[in-house]
Amino acid sequence: MYKILTHNKISVKGLDKFSRDKYEVASEIGHPDAIMLRSHKLTPEAIADSVTAIGRAGAGVNNIPVDDCTERGVVVFNAPGANANAVKELVIAGLLLSGRDILGGIKYVKEEGPGLTEDELHKLVENGKKQYGGAELAGKTLGVVGLGAIGSLVAETGLMLGMKVLGLDPALSVEAAWRLSRDVERVENMQTLLSKSDYVSLHLPVLEATRNLINKELTESFKPGSVLLNFSREKLVDTQALVAALDSGKLRSYISDFPMPEFLGRKDVIQMPHLGASTAEAEENCAIMIADQLIDFLENGNIKNSVNFPNTSLERSGLCRLAIINKNVPKMLGQILSVLADRDQNVADMINKSRGEIAYNLIDIEREPTNGLIDEIKAIDGVISARVV
Ligand SMILES: NC(=O)c1ccc[n+]([C@@H]2O[C@H](COP(=O)([O-])OP(=O)(O)OC[C@H]3O[C@@H](n4cnc5c(N)ncnc54)[C@H](O)[C@@H]3O)[C@@H](O)[C@H]2O)c1
Ligand SMILES: O=C(O)CC[C@@H](O)C(=O)O
């Protein structure tokens, strides 16, 4: 039986992928083989030694200690693109809410309306509505930072709304580039994007290089009166720098899915409670994608959509498969194969892939492993883990 430890509310459509005759799935379980979670913050200590894989039913992996996992040979998966449409739709809601004072207008009717007759309500509406007007999005410029799964959809929708769209992504994948409309104008740096955009939307991960991306110096580049939308992560922005930019009027408004205490009570900030991926469809898509990936890894050793291991896939041949993780240093494969040769184990097929400091091998052998084979492989200096799948 494989054991899957879950954190957060994971869609049953995904959990149902684990057949009950092979898997035990629970939010409390001893010696788990894998962990499946959403935004739960995982510490290295909370990852049991038995864990071989972690599946993030979402995009961002900043709640997982990925470097520590890599060192320990724990494969971390995410679900690229599975919640992108849900986030895009909320970003468009954010754009619309910032274009006009829709929330202020609704509050006005809700607070001032009760107890009034139809005539009085009509007067209230017609007298008060001038306070809640705004401007149209069509004809304005939208700057999108990060043109991956979400950013490309936001850019596309911006074009459909009649906006001019600028995009910046220094690490754009070939696949993402194919998805992108030619009408998205590429810019080379943040300063240019900020200075030309009426609305700026962030769609990139928090990495060492992107932490506090929007800092004090960069806020100087905002086009006066522009709006910043952050549906990615709070750590991409320097909160104090944004407060100053809002106070000075350099920024007209900040719309975020990641509330910070400094912004509470401000009329020029809209904070949502991390709702981007909270749709039934996105929750299902993410849970199904992660469950499929975990099952293929646990049962076949195959890796798809890992953030720290190479994509690795091998059709099964032979009788038995070994999945071995080792440090990416010379002579490892030779030593592993020589242990197999010493035990008269013929290799039917194999694949060896590396990513950064880590290497991964799937080796199909023609006989059942003899006693002590796995321990002998694990004893090779540089081997991190070895298992029969
Ligand atoms: N609000 C939510 O609920 C929610 C849901 C999903 C994702 N997210 C956040 O959105 C982020 C993006 O998600 P995605 O699915 O589009 O990911 P993605 O991996 O498809 O796209 C991210 C893009 O950012 C680009 N990028 C990296 N560094 C950059 C930089 N310095 N400048 C510009 N671009 C850069 C990458 O090249 C990539 O194309 C996630 O990392 C996550 O933090 C939030
Ligand atoms: O699981 C969620 O609700 C949020 C997920 C989101 O932040 C992500 O990075 O995919």
What CATH number did the domain enclosing 64 receive? 3.40.50.720
Spot the catalytic one: 7, 179, 266, 274: 274
CATH of the domain at 339: 3.30.70.260
CA dihedral sign of residues 183, 187, 192, 194 = positive
Q: Is 38 a catalytic residue?
A: no
SS3 246: helix
* Ligand 1 geometric centre to CA of 15 (Å): 26
Mean predicted confidence (pLDDT) in 36-60: 98
β-pairing, 141-145 vs 199-202, is: parallel
* Ligand 1 geometric centre to CA of 75 (Å): 20
Instruction: Examine the domain organization and report whether 89 and 223 are in the same domain.
Output: yes
Q: Does residue 196 fall inside a structural domain?
A: yes
For residue 53, the model assigns a pLDDT of 98
Instruction: Examine the domain organization and report whether 146 and 224 are in the same domain.
Output: yes
* Ligand 2 geometric centre to CA of 274 (Å): 8
Percent residues over pLDDT 70 in the chain: 100
User: What is the extent of the structural domain holding 52?
Assistant: 1-83+277-309
Instruction: Examine the domain organization and report whether 164 and 258 are in the same domain.
Output: yes
Instruction: Examine the domain organization and report whether 222 and 292 are in the same domain.
Output: no
Q: Where are the alpha helices (DSSP H) in the chain?
A: 12-15, 66-72, 84-99, 102-112, 118-128, 149-160, 174-179, 190-196, 216-219, 239-248, 280-300, 332-342, 373-378
- Ligand 2 atom with the smallest distance to the CA of 83 is 10
SS3 267: coil
**Residues near 1 by Cβ (< 8 Å), separated by ≥ 6?**
22, 23, 24
User: Which residue among 186, 203, 286, 289 has the greatest number of ligand 1 atoms within 8 angstroms of its CB, and so is best to mutate?
Assistant: 203
Instruction: Examine the domain organization and report whether 245 and 216 are in the same domain.
Output: yes
For the stretch 162-207, pLDDT in tens is 999 999 999 999 999 998 999 999 999 999 999 999 999 999 999 9
Q: Does residue 52 fall inside a structural domain?
A: yes
Ligand 1 contacts (CB < 6 A) are 58-60, 80-81, 83-84, 87, 145-151, 168-172, 176, 203-205, 209-210, 231-233, 257, 274, 276-277
Mean predicted confidence (pLDDT) in 325-348: 97
Q: Assign 320 a pLDDT band (cuts: 50, 70, 90).
A: very high
Residue with CA at minimum distance from ligand 1 atom 37: 171
Q: Is 274 a catalytic residue?
A: yes
* Per-chain mean pLDDT for the chain: 97
* Ligand 2 geometric centre to CA of 157 (Å): 21
Q: Does residue 6 fall inside a structural domain?
A: yes
Q: Does residue 209 fall inside a structural domain?
A: yes
Of 236, 233, 207, the C-alpha closest to 219 is: 236
Residue with CA at minimum distance from ligand 2 atom 5: 58
Spot the catalytic one: 38, 233, 252, 321: 233
Instruction: Examine the domain organization and report whether 4 and 40 are in the same domain.
Output: yes
* Ligand 1 geometric centre to CA of 146 (Å): 6
Instruction: Examine the domain organization and report whether 299 and 192 are in the same domain.
Output: no
**Cα 96 from chain centre:** 24
Q: Are 219 and 248 in contact (CB under 8 A)?
A: no
For the stretch 210-266, pLDDT in tens is 999 999 999 999 999 999 999 999 999 999 999 999 999 999 999 999 999 999 999
Find the distance separating the first CA and the last CA of the chain, reported in whole Å. 13
* Single-letter amino acid, residue 62: N
Ligand nearest to the CA of 205: 1
* Predicted ipTM of the assembly: 0.99
Per DSSP, what are the bridge partners of residue 6? 36
Instruction: Examine the domain organization and report whether 40 and 125 are in the same domain.
Output: no
Q: Does residue 389 fall inside a structural domain?
A: no
Q: Assign 27 a pLDDT band (cuts: 50, 70, 90).
A: very high
- Ligand 2 atom with the smallest distance to the CA of 233 is 7
Q: Does residue 151 fall inside a structural domain?
A: yes
- Ligand 2 atom with the smallest distance to the CA of 59 is 10
Q: Tally the domains of the chain.
A: 4
Residue with CA at minimum distance from ligand 2 atom 3: 277
Flag whether pLDDT at 318 surpasses 90.
no
For the stretch 121-178, pLDDT in tens is 999 999 999 999 999 999 999 999 999 999 999 999 999 999 999 999 999 999 999 9
CA dihedral angle for residue 310, residue 311, residue 314, residue 319, rounded to 10 degrees? 50
Instruction: Examine the domain organization and report whether 163 and 222 are in the same domain.
Output: yes
Q: What is the DSSP letter of 122?
A: H
For residue 345, the model assigns a pLDDT of 95
Instruction: Examine the domain organization and report whether 235 and 142 are in the same domain.
Output: yes
Instruction: Examine the domain organization and report whether 93 and 211 are in the same domain.
Output: yes
pTM of the model: 0.95
Ligand 2 contacts (CB < 6 A) are 38-39, 58-60, 83, 276-278
Instruction: Examine the domain organization and report whether 112 and 256 are in the same domain.
Output: no
Ligand nearest to the CA of 152: 1
